[in-house]
Amino acid sequence: MSSSKRSPNRYDQIIGRIFLERYQDGAENVFFERDDLIRVSNQLGIPLPKNLGDILYSFRYRAQLPQPIREKAPQGKEWVIKPAGRSRYCFSLTSLRVLAPSEMLAEIKIPDATPGIISKYALSDEQALLAKLRHNRLIDIFTGVTCYSLQSHLRTTVPGIGQVETDEIYVGLDRKGVHYVLPVQAKASRERLGIIQIEQDFALCQYRFPSLICIPVAAQYMRDDLIALFAFEMTREGSAVSLEKHYRLAQPEDVTLEDLESYRLRPQG
């Protein structure tokens, strides 16, 4: 249920109070400190979660900011939370960019190679999705680059941004021998894909892997075993989707000759 259709929860109350305390008419950036979370929660008599960072993570990557904050954004703009140094953050006004799978895009059936024991014991949607990407070589298929998982849940510090986290990092090479780095963000169907995460992935790769070509990838469950994959490129206006594909993991017998013929006739791209 969206923030606009439910009573404010404790995260909404804390982050909303911080914003409204510091916001001034016409402001495009509203800075605050991590300690403000503790101060405001004490003022409101609201117990904090054991992981204080979950408040910020929730609004940066999973949930909408509360309505009182969204109302302060002019038409075509939205507020996002960005790191602004060690233990410092900023509500930043940015152009409204909605990132969601297209319902009009044709799907591609892939014989499901996920081991049954992985499907049985996966502990979360995100972990299950990352496992399915690995076992079905979906990053390779999607990008046309031979890819290898380098590290899961890479957490590091990038100058000028602060701490960033990527669900998984792949490295790869193409038939010409060119090397690539592919940071992957994985989302369950109920979660929001965030442009901010993609822009942080670009910054991470520029800092940690400056000699490699960076192709950030986002993956999201749509329904059942239908997975949407996005690739991004950096433009003058910021990060933009360069490719979107939808892959359905199917039993081998469900990939028919008609399916294969239709794929053969589809335009490349």
How would you write the pLDDT of the chain (269 residues) with one tens digit per residue?
333 344 458 999 999 999 999 999 999 999 999 999 999 999 999 988 888 888 887 887 667 899 999 999 998 888 989 888 888 999 998 877 778 899 899 999 999 999 999 988 877 788 899 999 999 999 999 999 999 999 998 888 887 667 788 999 999 999 999 999 999 999 887 777 778 788 889 999 999 999 999 999 999 999 878 999 999 998 877 788 999 999 999 999 999 999 999 999 888 76
Alpha helices in 58-105 (DSSP H): 67-70
Q: Tell me whether strands 107-111 and 238-250 are parallel, antiparallel or unpaired.
A: parallel
Amino acid 136: pLDDT = 97
d(CA 117, CA 196): 34
Q: What are the structure tokens assigned to 171, written together? A: 């490295």
Contact yes or no for 14/81 (Cβ under 8 A)? no
Q: Tell me whether strands 179-187 and 217-223 are parallel, antiparallel or unpaired.
A: parallel
d(CA 155, CA 57): 13
Amino acid 59: pLDDT = 85
Amino acid 58: pLDDT = 80
DSSP structure class, residue 43: H
Amino acid 1: pLDDT = 37
d(CA 98, CA 108): 24
Q: Which helix or strand (DSSP H or E) is residue 236 part of?
A: none
Radius of gyration, alpha carbons of the chain: 20
Amino acid 8: pLDDT = 59
